[in-house]
């Protein structure tokens, strides 16, 4: 029953008396009578029993190590080098909180400053915060920021947006009343430029992703940015940062704001969480003043020595309260540090190789899938490949599972116009034998 | 010591990884317009260098395992290692959120079980585990309140009431949800001023966001009356769970009259804070609000087993991608199973005992004042106002001086209604000796303030760095290596 | 190919030139011509590929978490609290070496001093070394030490000795020519006192275990010690230290030397290793001078402050070389620290509870086993229970395995006089449902 | 800082665990004569206190991740974290050594594969993985040699030859196996004196134990001649693998003429040293010796799969319980698979390069002398004899002063044939910058020795403690809390 976490448990009554209370119960004399009650909860167990029980429960999950999986659609099986996990489990990082006392928190502060710096190099923008909850909330906050900065209330996004992000965006924009306008994709599965031009009028921001939800690279990214800017809108780019060794930094392509998912580096899938949202902006005072989230800055200590500290806090909720740029307080610091350690390990060569290997593995997957199903969009894919089947995907999916293969993510319910389609994904972790087994199975069942 | 930035440790040609080879070594060309042409200025290091760098950085950081960490309102309790062990199971790390439900029964069972525990602990009827942190949970909660009123056609409820002692996230979350925030003053006891509340409620009132015990560590003993007033006006009552550790296993927000509750798994339920996250901020509601919760919820059915339920007709949508911080949930459930009913109750008893121990042992010490009533719950807020007036030593100085003794400072300058606030929350996992040492240190600082104030004002003297200049940081922001490099090249920085 | 561990790899030729060598090859000019060769070894792989491969290999082991197991016989499934592993994995402990520089090794030195101190409290002797390889080698070194101290060359041991320890003892005593004499067990499965009296003449030492290999408590331990002492022999007691919350410290029962297995605390089974041998002696100068292994002592630093250091090194090989008391150099320091952390966590109450729970679980196992097979020895068992079956144990074992139950350890080949016998063991980790399933299965197959 | 002993942190009534309940709560009585009656003076702490204590102790310890750790002959290379990850698999921890072989195919495969790697690396034909450490391996090796001679009826071979530069474990192991140890002097080059060897061998010679490169870091370039002499006399050649890192992947002991080899997985194969263990000391032999190896060996058979082979007719028995330090083997095999053929070769090349870098950069520095030849392999031994004569600063003082710069000292006073020896083995996993910083520190100490010797003699100044008094420790041994308590009670100790 957890007394082993409670040093004073054996002496609680004695301590209560020592400070003038007749009993521990008396410490709760301010609680209205009858409100204290017995809870209907199980008794505590020994650590061993809990270990046995939860080990057994978790063993019921089939992992991607036991079952080749082609799921992607926003969550990917990347390999995290062992030292990353090892380092973030050091209790000085793991058990610390927000570095309110910088003098005894230089380690976390510097690590977060390095995270910001590494992301800045990737995305090509100089101002990066210390993390948002995930890509989706970062995008939603970018929409809100765009509205604040431009004093407009429309945010333009591609129709080829993940159902997750779509829902988050709607929830976040509901209160402030920012309207979302969707732009359809063209025959290449990319943003339809003509339709974008129609939509952009009066927009606070235009959002586009690279790669997009269908795994396609938006070739007209620069043009899209120009269209946004011409309309007086902010150009917000969402990016899977694992692509940035082979694809130009969005900041160099005109982005005012870059959001994305930092947890693709250094963090396992964890059934979807935790993640860490990237949030970066140009060095424009208006944007810096309006951006959400914690920011770590470099400064000096009283001896003139380099030191790090949380800065620009006057945007934040604990100071500005209802007028803050966001309500975010706890962010995803440790996730960001893990991403930083992984990025520092990869370096420029590693990031480029990572991008290249993913491009090649995705190309192999796409080539092989086209042998057994329709692959509607031509062009270069990164991770995800959209595949259309001739019969209900559900049946195919079940048949694959029986063969111990987890197929892709069914998108028919979210994009009915695409029919019985699914996203199949590859990363650097994908093995040839997995793909070959998938194709063999699909030949039988698709 | 001085640890260089990782960029400064970089040497051309070093690598820290070996990439698996591609399946086929064919050339795949990124469209020319998109090809990376700008330099990729990432550092180049070998794995041993990366490991040494971050090991050294970690040694420049104070965590719960380093010593007492009594940040008020943050509940820095011990993070049991069994939580980490269970969260390290491959069935956590290597599971994709879109896997067929038949292949993730373990994960779903954990979420389902966690919800059952949280329901009983709070007296709520349904929980979403999606919010990533407390503030994300608050946003979820107020969005649910918003959806409820709108769904009933009650469109004029645009005001959210928030006491002046509340966490900054409360008004910020309400504002994000589109509410106008009305501040309710505290009375001389540090609790909600009932008269002010009566005057504030109206047909525009969407709800009241309250923490109980509040940020002063004081139990809102008029809570039932507060609930009556708000409900009578047609508003809902929102419980900020930041301080749940004070009543865990003893009193349920649901029994106090709250309709919506958010919890902080990283505070009350012992999951580590990670230097600022990941947290987890589940939100529970009474039955009449459950149809507004974010999707998906977790369902259970004898035949189907556990499943993700997207059939939430009036859902506010999503407040975060996917299902929340699952790895954090695993840790919290582990803790709950170890503690059990009696254990949880003992947590709050001892958390309250420890806070009152500090209260009683420190009160009367010169320079520190104890505003409001003496009986506290899990935390106590002293004011260093007398010390500041009499010696010039501020709460900030006291905090910095504590660092010199190898102790972490309390939260300072919060809540805003106490001047020169020192907000101390020891939690239940520190020992009597640690409490005593903390009180001793605060007493010694008082003596120093009145005898040799300079030593306090110039603290810390023994930390990794001397006092950090945050004014400079804000005046001339250097946020990234890229900015630093540019300023350095221009000769505009001397750090 | 591991270049990521080699910071200087990219510049090795440059560095060689800088220090006056034409090439790295030239650094090997002192190796006889033709001796440098190409090795027939696989190419290096990426960390991910090695991870996948070894994860799959290790998943082929069936663990005791997946399959109830009743194996004991010297290795036991104890539960190790999670914080123990967490702490010994901190790199300052994990990656350090022998504390040759005490000023920067106080952490490991103090932890080992605490290990010595905790073991001293358990076994009731004041001098403990910082660990041997395991119980078996500790016992063998005790035999050699007995011979050195008494200048005799016979060591008396119970015939009920594990095959492991028997073999180790023979190997260690072969060189110095110490003769081993075995004393049979009596009808209670304990040392036959009369036979011991015959054997003890001229003995350097008498060894006895608690519990013995059959899981029995040697009730006449004190008498055995007296017999040894009367004959001028050292009394060496081998002990499973998990029993010492309920059984008297051997030092209080007359032992001159105590050996045992420290790894039962704080360390998982690890397929048999690493372990850590306990070695403790009375505070007798002759014994202290003759004992093997590293010893940590408390002393002062130059400021008079408490400090720890390796001490009494003049017994050791790096100083005494061929005249050392043992050749041991690397010991099992981290295993010992893990044991110490576990022991400090248990405290007196925990150790007593541990002993009691094991006694009770063993009693339950014994009771249930007696329903389906012969249990030859009456009395109190600790962990192991000897069971005799009416048909070849091999058949029973196979049938149990088919039911996903791992039966006990067959001892028929080592003790033919006991017939088709096996040792079945319980510890605090044994679950009622496991035992009940075992008995149900045995009813079918035994 | 000062961290109390865990006993001093104890408070009556605290607990750090919760024990599972027994299956049946019946009373089981230990026989009265055996019941514990003496007090069990173990400390009483809660889990958070235990964790804080050992976290703090760890912070008072220097490891490979803290910085360069150039202990000569110890090969303190970086310990890759993937090794730990793999060794943390439940298929390692939760497997009983007596499990049916069908249930431990993974474990046996790992042992079998490791053996194949080690065979090719050393040029040996069969390996035992049983020895727990290098010295245990040496003992195994010399016992095999003993068994071989005895088996052939060659009973007069009672002498083991050992060079004067050898590790102390060599003569100690030989003595434990019952051999008389004959010391062979080194010549002026630091290598085996061939004439002395010729004179020493006889029909009593069981073998020669040799390290190559030797403890001076010098390759025994006459190794083939040495082997000829020993073999001709009927002796066998034993290779102490402590220094294998110098020739790993380039040269095989088997090709040098060695018959028996022990390796240190914790040195050459990157498994962590754990503060002094666990190590692992596999022993390989040429084909004609394989029947003498300890039982069991690991076999493989298409039908049966992997199995433990107890059928070793002339086995020396066992040198340790069970099969050796399996968890260490897992780490070593992980390393081997990551490195591969080319990687291993690069290890020795860079290990040698780094040692020679230090040699060349440091030589000529006042006070340090470089005896014997310049070309070294993985380590170099300087002598501080001139410094001692000229300034009174000893090798020990140099070592302590290095600690002040945050660097670990080299091995000192070994090998015995070099006075005031500083034995430096940087390994391949340190960077050029770390090598440079090390040389700089040694040069600075030289300057200090000649300008301000007191600062060196009184070092360290910045470590957790000042110089530790080992004479006092030996004079009045305090080995345990029990002894300390008794001395303290008698007033005989003031620590």
Q: What is the ipTM of this complex?
A: 0.97
**Mean pLDDT, residues C100-119 taken together:** 97
Chain A residue nearest residue D9, CA to CA: A7
Across the interface, do D47 and B80 touch by the CB < 8 Å criterion? yes
Does the pLDDT value for residue A27 go beyond 70?
A: yes
Q: What is the dihedral of CA C240, C246, C249, C255, to 10 degrees?
A: -60
Q: How far lies B316's CA from each of A411, B142, B160, B245, C168, in Å?
A: 22, 10, 18, 29, 70
Structural domain ending residue among the three candidates B280, B308, B338: B338
Instruction: Kindly report the backbone phi and psi dihedral angles of residue B129, in degrees, each rounded to the nearest multiple of 5, phi listed first.
Output: -105, 10
Look at residue C1 in the predicted model and tell me its pLDDT. 78
List the CATH number of the domain containing B402: 3.90.1150.10
For chain A, helix (H) and strand (E) counts, in that order, are 14, 12
For residue D97, is it within any domain?
yes
Mutation choice for A interface testing from B258, B276, B324 by most A CBs within 10 A: B276
Q: Is A391 on the interface with C (CB under 8 A)?
A: no
Q: Is B473 on the interface with C (CB under 8 A)?
A: no
For residue D253, is it within any domain?
yes
Tell whether B361 and B320 lie within a shared domain: no
Across the interface, do C79 and A51 touch by the CB < 8 Å criterion? yes
Look at residue B245 in the predicted model and tell me its pLDDT. 98
Does the pLDDT value for residue C287 go beyond 90?
A: yes
Q: Which domains does chain C have, with CATH numbers?
A: 3-44 (no CATH), 82-342 (3.40.640.10), 348-445 (3.90.1150.10)
D180 min Cα distance to partner chain B (Å): 44
Mutation choice for C interface testing from D274, D409, D416 by most C CBs within 10 A: D274
Give the three-state DSSP class for A283. coil
Q: D204: burial class by Cβ within 10 Å (0-12, 13-18, 19+)?
A: middle
Q: How far lies C446's CA from each of A107, A371, C400, C437, C442, in Å?
A: 62, 57, 9, 13, 5
Number of independent structural domains in chain D: 1
Give me the residues of chain B with pLDDT under 50, please. none
List the CATH number of the domain containing D210: 3.40.640.10
Chain B residue nearest residue C7, CA to CA: B46
Q: Is A286 on the interface with B (CB under 8 A)?
A: no
Q: Is A47 on the interface with C (CB under 8 A)?
A: yes
HSE-CB of C145 using CA atoms within 13 angstroms: 30
Chain C residue nearest residue A54, CA to CA: C65
C430 with C80: CB under 8 angstroms? no
Instruction: Select from C364, C390, C392 the least CA-distant residue to C376.
Output: C390
D35, β-bridge pairs: C247
Structure tokens at B120: 């009983």
For residue B490, is it within any domain?
no
In the structure, what pLDDT confidence band is assigned to residue A319 with cuts at 50, 70 and 90?
A: confident
Does the pLDDT value for residue A317 go beyond 90?
A: no
Task: Sort out which chain B residues have CB atoms less than 8 A from A133's CB and list them.
Answer: 132-133, 136, 320
Mutation choice for C interface testing from B46, B53, B59, B78 by most C CBs within 10 A: B46
In the structure, what pLDDT confidence band is assigned to residue A271 with cuts at 50, 70 and 90?
A: very high
* Host domain of residue B45: 6-58
Mutation choice for B interface testing from A27, A97, A162 by most B CBs within 10 A: A97
Q: Is A82 on the interface with C (CB under 8 A)?
A: yes
Task: Sort out which chain C residues have CB atoms less than 8 A from A86's CB and list them.
Answer: 89, 91
Tell whether B427 and B334 lie within a shared domain: no
Task: Sort out which chain B residues have CB atoms less than 8 A from D65's CB and list them.
Answer: 51-52, 55
D478 min Cα distance to partner chain B (Å): 28
Chain D residue nearest residue A52, CA to CA: D20
Give the three-state DSSP class for D253. helix
Chain A residue nearest residue D14, CA to CA: A7
Q: Is A361 on the interface with B (CB under 8 A)?
A: yes
Tell whether B229 and B96 lie within a shared domain: yes
Across the interface, do C7 and B48 touch by the CB < 8 Å criterion? yes
Task: Sort out which chain B residues have CB atoms less than 8 A from D81's CB and list them.
Answer: 47, 51
Task: Sort out which chain D residues have CB atoms less than 8 A from B66's CB and list them.
Answer: 52, 55-56
Task: Sort out which chain C residues have CB atoms less than 8 A from D74's CB and list them.
Answer: 97-98
Q: Is A5 on the interface with C (CB under 8 A)?
A: no
For residue D178, is it within any domain?
yes
Instruction: Select from D327, D332, D311, D283 the least CA-distant residue to D139.
Output: D283
Q: For residue C79, give the nearest of A48, A86, A89 by CB distance.
A: A48
Neighbouring chains of D at 3+ CB pairs within 8 Å? A, B, C
Give the three-state DSSP class for B153. coil
Tell whether B188 and B308 lie within a shared domain: yes
Q: A229: burial class by Cβ within 10 Å (0-12, 13-18, 19+)?
A: middle
Residues 6 or more apart in contact with residue C285 via CB below 8 angstroms: none
C354 with C383: CB under 8 angstroms? no
For residue D487, is it within any domain?
no
Q: For residue C101, give the nearest of D408, D481, D483 by CB distance.
A: D408
**Mean pLDDT, residues A296-304 taken together:** 96
Across the interface, do C79 and A431 touch by the CB < 8 Å criterion? no
For residue B243, is it within any domain?
yes
Look at residue C316 in the predicted model and tell me its pLDDT. 87
B45 min Cα distance to partner chain C (Å): 7
Q: What is the dihedral of CA D284, D288, D291, D297, to 10 degrees?
A: 30
- Please write down the long-range contacts of C225-228, taking CB distance under 8 Å and 24 or more positions apart: C225/C253, C225/C254, C225/C255, C226/C254, C227/C193, C227/C196, C227/C197, C227/C200, C228/C156, C228/C200, C228/C203
A406 with A71: CB under 8 angstroms? yes
For residue B486, is it within any domain?
no
Tell whether B93 and B137 lie within a shared domain: yes
Give me the residues of chain D with pLDDT under 50, please. none
Task: Sort out which chain D residues have CB atoms less than 8 A from C32's CB and list them.
Answer: 221, 223-224
Tell whether B143 and B265 lie within a shared domain: yes
Structure tokens at D143: 């016992």
Residues in chain B, how many?
Answer: 495
Q: For residue D18, give the nearest of A4, A82, A83 by CB distance.
A: A4
**Mean pLDDT, residues C294-300 taken together:** 97
Across the interface, do B51 and D65 touch by the CB < 8 Å criterion? yes
Instruction: Select from C308, C285, C261 the least CA-distant residue to C103.
Output: C308
Neighbouring chains of C at 3+ CB pairs within 8 Å? A, B, D
Structure tokens at A195: 């339709």
Chain B residue nearest residue A423, CA to CA: B98
Q: Is the dihedral of CA A364, A367, A373, A374 positive or negative?
A: positive
Q: Which residue has the tokens 């800065």?
A: A311
Q: For residue B46, give the nearest of C5, C44, C83 by CB distance.
A: C5
Across the interface, do D357 and C19 touch by the CB < 8 Å criterion? yes
Q: Which residue has the tokens 């007593």?
A: C352
Tell whether B333 and B359 lie within a shared domain: no
Tell whether B129 and B227 lie within a shared domain: yes
Residues C114, D50: Cα–Cα separation, whole Å: 12
Q: Is A93 on the interface with C (CB under 8 A)?
A: no
Task: Sort out which chain B residues have CB atoms less than 8 A from C13's CB and list them.
Answer: none
Q: Mean pLDDT in chain C?
A: 97
Does the pLDDT value for residue A314 go beyond 90?
A: no
Task: Sort out which chain A residues have CB atoms less than 8 A from C431's CB and list them.
Answer: 52
Look at residue B1 in the predicted model and tell me its pLDDT. 60
Fill in the DSSP letter of residue D429: T
Tell whether B157 and B264 lie within a shared domain: yes
- How far from the centroid of its chain's Cα atoms is residue A363's Cα? 24
Q: For residue A65, give the nearest of C55, C81, C91 by CB distance.
A: C55
For residue D212, is it within any domain?
yes
Q: How far lies B128's CA from each of A155, B143, B169, B177, B336, in Å?
A: 28, 13, 19, 18, 17
Q: Which residues of D, range 119-178, sit inside 8 Å of A by Cβ?
A: none
D138 with D239: CB under 8 angstroms? no
Give the three-state DSSP class for C141. helix
Task: Sort out which chain A residues have CB atoms less than 8 A from D17's CB and list them.
Answer: 4, 46-47
Look at residue D1 in the predicted model and tell me its pLDDT. 60
Residues D105, D126: Cα–Cα separation, whole Å: 20
Tell whether B363 and B395 lie within a shared domain: yes
Look at residue A315 in the predicted model and tell me its pLDDT. 87
Tell whether B325 and B286 lie within a shared domain: yes
Across the interface, do A297 and B103 touch by the CB < 8 Å criterion? no
Look at residue C319 in the predicted model and tell me its pLDDT. 85
Q: Which residue has the tokens 């063999």?
A: A440
- How far from the centroid of its chain's Cα atoms is residue A94's Cα? 20
Q: Is the dihedral of CA B124, B129, B134, B140 positive or negative?
A: negative
Crossing angle of helices C333-369 and C432-445, in 10° steps, is 50
Does the pLDDT value for residue C314 go beyond 90?
A: no
Q: How far lies C96's CA from each of D246, D277, D347, in Å?
A: 21, 9, 21
* Cβ atoms < 10 Å from Cβ of A443: 10
Tell whether B12 and B116 lie within a shared domain: no
Residues 6 or more apart in contact with residue B377 via CB below 8 angstroms: A27, B213, B217, B218, B219, B243, B246, B247, B351, B352, B355
Beta strands C384-388 and C421-425, pairing class: antiparallel
């Amino acid at each position: 029953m957890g007394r082993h976490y409670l040093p004073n448990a054996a002496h609680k009554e004695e301590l209560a008396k020592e400070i003038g209370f007749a009993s521990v119960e008396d410490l709760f004399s301010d609680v209205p009578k009858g409100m204290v009650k017995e809870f209907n909860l199980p008794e505590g167990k020994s650590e061993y029993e809990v270990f046995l029980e939860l080990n057994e429960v978790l063993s019921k999950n089939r992992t991607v190590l036991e079952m080749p999986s082609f799921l992607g659609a926003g969550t990917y099986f990347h390999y995290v080098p062992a030292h990353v996990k090892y380092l973030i489990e050091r209790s000085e990082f793991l058990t610390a909180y927000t570095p309110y006392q910088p003098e005894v928190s230089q380690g976390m502060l510097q690590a977060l400053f390095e995270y910001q710096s590494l992301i800045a190099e990737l995305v090509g923008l100089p101002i990066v915060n210390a993390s948002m909850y995930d890509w989706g909330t970062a995008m939603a906050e970018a929409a809100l920021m765009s509205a604040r900065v431009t004093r407009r209330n429309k945010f333009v996004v591609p129709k080829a947006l993940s159902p997750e992000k779509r829902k988050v965006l709607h929830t976040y924009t509901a209160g402030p009343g920012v309207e979302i306008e969707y732009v359809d994709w063209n025959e290449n599965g990319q943003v339809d430029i003509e339709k974008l031009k129609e939509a952009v009028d009066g927009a606070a921001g235009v959002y586009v992703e690279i790669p997009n939800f269908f795994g396609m690279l938006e070739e007209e990214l620069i043009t899209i940015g120009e269209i946004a800017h011409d309309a007086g809108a902010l150009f917000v780019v969402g990016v899977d940062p694992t692509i940035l060794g082979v694809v130009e930094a969005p900041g160099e392509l005109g982005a005012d704001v870059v959001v994305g998912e930092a947890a693709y580096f250094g963090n396992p899938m964890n059934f979807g969480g935790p993640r860490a949202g990237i949030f970066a902006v140009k060095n424009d005072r208006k944007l810096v003043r309006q951006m959400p989230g914690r920011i770590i800055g470099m400064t000096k200590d009283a001896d003139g020595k380099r030191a790090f500290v949380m800065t620009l806090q006057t945007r934040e909720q604990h100071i500005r309260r209802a007028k803050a740029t966001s309500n975010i307080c706890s962010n995803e610091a440790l996730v960001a540090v893990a991403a930083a350690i992984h990025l520092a390990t990869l370096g420029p060569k590693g990031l480029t190789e990572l991008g290249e290997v993913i491009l090649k593995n995705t190309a192999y997957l796409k080539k092989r899938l086209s042998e057994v199903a329709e692959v509607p969009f031509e062009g270069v894919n990164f991770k995800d490949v959209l595949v259309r089947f001739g019969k209900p995907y559900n049946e195919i999916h079940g048949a694959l599972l029986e063969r111990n293969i987890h197929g892709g993510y069914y998108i028919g319910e979210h994009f009915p116009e695409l029919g019985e389609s699914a996203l199949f994904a590859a990363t650097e972790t994908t093995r040839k034998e997995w793909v070959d087994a998938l194709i063999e199975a699909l030949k039988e069942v698709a | 010591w001085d640890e260089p930035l990782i960029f400064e440790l970089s040497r051309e040609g070093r690598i820290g990884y070996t990439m698996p080879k591609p399946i086929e070594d064919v050339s795949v060309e990124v469209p020319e317009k998109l090809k990376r042409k700008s330099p990729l200025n990432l550092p180049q290091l070998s794995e041993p260098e990366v490991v040494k760098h971050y090991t050294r950085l970690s040694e420049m950081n104070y965590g719960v395992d380093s010593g007492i960490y009594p940040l008020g309102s943050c509940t820095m309790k011990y993070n049991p290692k069994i939580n980490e062990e269970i969260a390290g199971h491959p069935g956590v790390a290597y599971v994709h959120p879109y896997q067929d439900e038949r292949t993730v029964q373990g994960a779903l069972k954990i979420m389902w079980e966690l919800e059952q525990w949280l329901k009983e602990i709070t007296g709520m009827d349904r929980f979403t585990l999606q919010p990533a942190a407390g503030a994300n949970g608050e946003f979820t909660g107020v969005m649910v309140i918003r959806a409820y009123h709108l769904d009933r056609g009650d469109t004029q409820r645009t005001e959210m009431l928030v006491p002046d002692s509340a966490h900054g996230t409360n008004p910020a979350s309400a504002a994000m949800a589109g509410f106008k925030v009305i501040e309710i003053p505290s009375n001389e006891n540090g609790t909600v001023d009932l008269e002010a509340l009566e005057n504030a409620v109206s047909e525009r009132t969407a709800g009241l966001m309250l923490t109980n015990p509040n940020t002063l560590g004081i139990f809102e003993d008029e809570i039932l009356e507060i609930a009556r007033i708000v409900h009578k006006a047609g508003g809902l009552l929102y419980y900020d769970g930041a301080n749940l550790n004070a009543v865990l296993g003893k009193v349920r927000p649901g029994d106090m009259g709250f309709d919506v509750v958010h919890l902080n798994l990283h505070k009350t339920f012992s999951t580590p804070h990670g230097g600022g996250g990941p947290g987890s901020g589940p939100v529970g509601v009474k039955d009449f609000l459950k149809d507004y919760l974010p999707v998906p919820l977790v369902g259970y059915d004898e035949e189907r087993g556990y499943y993700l339920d997207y059939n939430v007709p009036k859902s506010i949508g999503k407040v975060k991608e996917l299902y929340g911080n699952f790895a954090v949930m695993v840790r919290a459930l582990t803790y709950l199973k170890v503690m059990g009913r009696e254990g949880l109750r003992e947590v709050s008893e001892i958390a309250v005992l420890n806070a009152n121990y500090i209260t009683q042992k420190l009160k009367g010490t010169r320079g520190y004042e104890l505003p409001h009533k003496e009986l506290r719950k899990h935390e106590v807020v002293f004011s260093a106002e007398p010390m500041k007036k009499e010696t010039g030593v501020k709460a900030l100085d006291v905090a910095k001086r504590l660092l010199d003794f190898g102790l972490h400072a309390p939260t300072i300058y919060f809540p805003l209604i106490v001047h020169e606030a020192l907000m101390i929350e020891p939690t239940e996992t520190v020992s009597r000796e640690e409490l005593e040492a903390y009180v001793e240190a605060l007493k010694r600082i008082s003596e120093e303030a009145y005898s040799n104030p300079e030593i306090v004002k110039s603290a810390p003297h023994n930390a990794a760095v001397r006092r950090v200049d945050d004014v400079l940081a804000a005046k001339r922001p250097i946020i990234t290596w890229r900015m630093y490099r540019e300023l350095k090249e221009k000769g505009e920085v001397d750090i």
